[in-house]
Amino acid sequence: MIDVNMVGMKELKKDFAEMRKRIGEPKVLMDSLGGMGAKNVIQHFDAEEGPLGSWAPLKHPRKRGGSGILKDTGRLRAATRFRTVGRTEAHVFNGVKYAAAHNFGATIKKGSMSRMGGHGYITYDIPRRKFMWIDERMRGTMRKSMIRWILKGLAN
């Protein structure tokens, strides 16, 4: 009979047990990934770009003199947040009511033209300026963070 005694097996089993425990309770990791995702969305405001390239330029100059696209007051950019949902999800969101109109584009019908002698509505076309997305570079950073967290318990 051959008896094999592997050096370090006890430590290896302990490491695997710790990894298994972290995988079963990933909330700390989800908090970290959510923060990374929100930061990435804010970077899109600074770069003024979506997944397909630069945002559509402004049609009219700003009354307040702001030069950036979707940055007139900074409210939309500042409203980017994240929350951990349950144990296994992190959601990045923007709670400003007009966020979806800018992210997806929209046609807005406003008021009545009756005061101008006509009937109907004035329409405004808002071009799509997608800001709620995670770029490939950040997804790679998130994958590395997940691996580091599973292996060593380091979230970031």
What local confidence, expressed as pLDDT, does residue 119 receive? 64
Domain residues for 83?
17-97+131-152
Is residue 30 in some structural domain? yes
Is residue 119 in some structural domain? no
Burial 97-132 (b: 16+ CB within 10 A, else e): eebebbbeeeeeeeeeeeeeeeeeeeeeeeeebebb
Is residue 75 in some structural domain? yes
Q: Give the tens place of pLDDT for each residue, 22-70.
A: 888 888 899 999 999 999 999 999 999 999 999 998 887 666 656 688 8
Is residue 71 in some structural domain? yes
| Mean pLDDT of the chain, nearest integer | 86
Q: Characterise 15 by phi-psi region: left (phi > 0), alpha (psi -120 to 50), beta (else).
A: alpha
Is residue 106 in some structural domain? no
What local confidence, expressed as pLDDT, does residue 58 receive? 84
Instruction: Indicate the number of domains in the chain.
Output: 1
| CA gap 14, 132 in Å, rounded | 40
β-pairing, 106-110 vs 122-126, is: antiparallel
What pLDDT band is residue 144 in, cutting at 50, 70 and 90?
Answer: very high
Is residue 8 in some structural domain? no
Q: What is the pTM of this model?
A: 0.79
- 140: its two tokens: 């790679």
Is residue 69 in some structural domain? yes
Is residue 91 in some structural domain? yes
